[in-house]
Amino acid sequence: MKLAIHCANLTWPGGPAALGSTLAEVARTADQGGVTTLTMMDHYFQMETLGGPSQPMLEGYTSLGFLAGQTTDVELGLLVTGVTYRHPGLLAKIVSTLDVLSGGRAMFGIGAAWYEREHVALGVPFPPTAERFERLEEALQICRQMWSDDDGAYNGKHYQLAETVCVPQPLRTGGPRVLIGGSGERKTLRLVAKYADACNLFSFPPDEIAHKIEVLDRHCENEGRDPAEIQRTVIAGAHPLEDTDGFLRTMEQYAALGIDQVWTGPSPADPIGSVADICERVLPRLRDLG
């Protein structure tokens, strides 16, 4: 099983003045320690569950551009981009720029967005859920078109582009790995089956994970797609350093269901040291799973 590090809680020692250097060292530690993917949040404000808007939150793609210059091997992305935050044409350009400048290491994580407070606060439109999912599907179509030889027009219900030119193209043919976040069975997993290279599920009990995978497989059948083409990933609920054996027992159950990548995060009190410990104590055992 592969390990990914997700930097969600940025209330780290030293405050804003130390945030850049600490984030850089977290990324270098992960990169050198064998972590396959490093992700940031995509929010304007910190989530309520991690302290809310009074706590630090960095803009996602700016942060990834910074981290591309601090690392050499680790895949970089957002977990996940909110479709409402950027026009899809601009988003495709941003992600392709990250891919080119990082040497082909961009991951394109995207979802329908949910945090209404930050949208209202900064005056960003926040459509109803059904419309956000329509926009998500159109954004996926636009990005795929911009990362192809087709630079013609795109005419959708919500987005109209006269030209879909994207030069330079991403280094990976067809664009970066596309990961759709969320576990909704009717809409999200259908979009995974139709457009994505990977899904990202919450840390449900193993029987519920098995159910979500069965739903995804049925959507793949309906789309005429081989389920084996889609990587199944989870974001862990428990921290691996708090109960390493218990964490690994759960991961072993997940691996038996086909999950092959797990996200966890740095400990806020010691982000650098905790990532080093995860790489030393947890990653070798994760690699033996699956």
Q: What is the pLDDT of residue 123?
A: 98
Cβ–Cβ under 8 Å, residues 122 and 50: no
**What is the C-alpha separation between 230 and 226, in angstroms, rounded?**
8
Gyration radius of the chain over CA positions: 18
Q: What is the pLDDT of residue 290?
A: 67
Tokens 């964490």 correspond to 247
Burial 86-95 (b: 16+ CB within 10 A, else e): bebbebbbbb
Q: HSE-up of 210 (CA within 13 Å, CB side)?
A: 6
DSSP lists the bridge partners of residue 179 as 109, 198
Question: Which residues touch 131 (CB under 8 Å, ≥6 apart)?
Answer: 158
Q: What is the pLDDT of residue 134?
A: 98
DSSP state of 167: S
Cβ–Cβ under 8 Å, residues 89 and 73: no
**What is the C-alpha separation between 202 and 111, in angstroms, rounded?**
13
Q: What is the pLDDT of residue 268?
A: 97
Cβ atoms within 10 Å of 105's Cβ, excluding its own: 24
Q: What is the pLDDT of residue 150?
A: 98
The values of phi and psi at residue 233, to 5°, are -130, 160
**Tens-binned pLDDT, residue by residue, of the chain (290 aa):** 999 999 999 999 999 999 999 999 999 999 999 999 999 999 999 999 999 999 999 999 999 999 999 999 999 999 999 999 999 999 999 999 999 999 999 999 999 999 999 999 999 999 999 999 999 999 999 999 999 999 999 999 999 999 999 999 999 999 999 999 999 999 999 999 999 999 999 999 999 999 999 999 999 999 999 999 999 999 998 899 999 999 999 999 999 999 999 999 999 999 999 999 999 999 999 999 96
Tell me how far the alpha carbon of residue 102 is from its chain's centroid. Answer: 17
3-state secondary structure of 160: strand
Cβ–Cβ under 8 Å, residues 33 and 74: no
